[in-house]
Chain A
Amino acid sequence: MTSNDANVPTPQELIKSFKVQAAIAREERAKTDALFLSIGEGVIATDENGKIIRVNQRAIDLLGYPRREMIGKWFPKKIRAVTESGKPIRNIDRPISRSFVNGETIKEKMYYVRKDGSHMPVHVTISPIMLRNKPIGAIEIFRDITLENEMDKLKADFISLASHQLRTPLAAVQTYTNMFLQGYIGEVTEVQASFLNTILDASERMNDLISTLLNITRIEAGNLLINTEETDLNMLARNVMSELDSLAKEKNIKMTYQPTDDPLIVDSDPSLIREVVINLLTNAVKYTPEGGDVTIRLTKEGHTAVVEVIDSGFGIPLGEQDRIFTKFYRATNILKRDTTGTGLGLYLVKNIAERLGGDLMFTSFENQGTTFTFTLPSYDTVVPAKISI
């Protein structure tokens, strides 16, 4: 090989080419660094052992640690995480640990402890960095959500106030109408009673709507309180069913109750379960034509309590079934028949079911009927968990 060969670079040409490539690599590296450092949220990258290898300026500003105090340190030890009440989150429960174990992106809210000891609410998103299917590190982006939390608190305060202020005049309307109906100021005629019952029905609908809106706002703000107690689902279902008896009779709908042989006990919030069951049963009666059937069937499958609400109603069109739990969504075949719904009920009860550790699913065929299946962990699942604490 000689320098006379036109295809072979000379040593000078090789050196020049290496220099150019090195300059390009440096430029690329500088751009990547600039990109990393300029990200408006805190960013921390670790190696495969969880040791911090890079942090950006925003992370330094948010946490209060200078860069040199973080680089090379084990992430979970250096950046301490606590719950809202200040309880330390175990290393094994930290998103970074779980992300390494599962190889998945994890998003979570928690509190980071700053260098000065103060607690900062953060939303973190952490992903493993994979190279040839092997994790070589992790990258976390975190955001200070102090302002968002303050907004959530304002929202919760508003809910509390709205709940009270909207309902107080409604309670007065209902109480005085009931007193009127029950003869506190003398006997009422049949026609008067009918008018008064219309007022009561309308105010109850308003009450239901306020409850739905308030519960949705609570769920979306993460403020839904769950007060658990031993609850017999058989009894709860029977009570809800009897409440809807007159509505079903108006449409000549046959209601069937199929309980389990033994009490079906769950350790959950009875008022929230009731909200789910009453919603499903009301829909079933409302969207089943005259003379149809509605059944509530309770079963236990392994460690799961199952409540099925089965109707012979209009059903949900196949093409719309993936949207049925979407807020404000109403099936087109129902919109033609009924304009009074809000499209909030199923969105609400699906969320409640999930918050209670269960789920809500359905199968439906248009003009044949729908079966909603509401599941909850049964009592025997919950008890061992309690004992182990």
Chain B
Amino acid sequence: MAQILVVEDDHDLNTAYRIILEHEKHVVETAYNGEEGLKKLKDFTPDLIVLDLLMPVMSGIDFLNEFRNMTSHAKVLVFTNLENSKEINEAFRLGADKCVVKAWTGPQGLLKVVNNILGTPATAKK
């Protein structure tokens, strides 16, 4: 069981990811853009952040820019529909641990990649 923050602007997907992850007994908090995600981090200490990239108010890239200056052990799974894009390279440069295309990844795929990331030892980000 892990603590997971889902940052995803699409309400349908946000809800689906919460259901899927809670089904596996993870503790899930949700946010609908990067700014909300940063606010959640004040009271919630996730082991993993599932992060969309293109979002209104604050994008996933801007979130990562802020997040990398915070002390957190959370891993970051970028879960986006962008592929073969500069944003993905930028996300890795800013410390993302893994990047997966949402449209190719069903519930089992999401759980598999989440478990893979959580299975690796966490390192403090600073």
Interface residues of A (CB under 8 A from B): 160-161, 163-164, 167-168, 170-172, 174-176, 178-179, 182, 184, 207, 210-211, 214-215, 218, 224-225, 227, 271
Contacts and interface: CB of A to CB of B under 8 A. Distances in A.
Interface of B: 10, 12-13, 16-17, 19-20, 23, 54, 80-87, 89, 102-104, 106-108
A178 B85 contact: no
28 contacts: A163-B82, A163-B83, A164-B82, A168-B102, A171-B13, A171-B81, A171-B102, A175-B12, A175-B13, A175-B17, A175-B20, A175-B102, A176-B16, A179-B16, A182-B107, A182-B108, A184-B19, A184-B107, A207-B103, A207-B104, A211-B83, A215-B84, A224-B84, A225-B84, A225-B85, A225-B86, A271-B83, A271-B84
B11 to A, nearest CB: 9
B106 A178 contact: yes
Nearest to A174: B106
Contacts of B102: 167-168, 171, 175
A178 B19 CA distance: 13
Contacts of B82: 160, 163-164
A87 B30 CA distance: 45
B103 A167 contact: yes
A271 B83 CA distance: 10
Contacts of A163: 81-83, 85
Given A167-B102, A184-B19, A184-B23, A175 B107 contact: yes
A214 B82 CA distance: 11
Contacts of A161: 54
B interface: dominant SS = helix
A245 B56 CA distance: 41
A105 B19 CA distance: 62
B107 A168 contact: no
Nearest to A226: B84
Nearest to A172: B12
B107 A179 contact: yes
A211 B108 CA distance: 22
A367 B73 CA distance: 61
A214 B101 CA distance: 14
A171 B87 contact: no
Nearest to A175: B16
A227 B83 CA distance: 11
Nearest to A225: B84
Nearest to B11: A172
Contact of A225 (B80, B89, B107): B89
B46 to A, nearest CB: 21
Contacts of B107: 175, 178-179, 182, 184
B89 A171 contact: no
A260 B106 CA distance: 33
Contacts of B106: 174-175, 178
Nearest to A206: B103
Nearest to B107: A178
Contact of B87 (A160, A168, A174, A224): A160
B78 to A, nearest CB: 13
Nearest to B17: A175
Contacts of A170: 103
A168 B10 contact: yes
B100 to A, nearest CB: 11
B85 A167 contact: no
B103 A174 contact: yes
A161 B54 CA distance: 9
Contacts of A179: 16, 19-20, 107
Contacts of A174: 103, 106
A124 B24 CA distance: 60
A178 B108 contact: yes
B12 A176 contact: yes
B88 to A, nearest CB: 8
Contacts of A176: 12, 16
Contacts of A211: 83
Contacts of A225: 84-86, 89
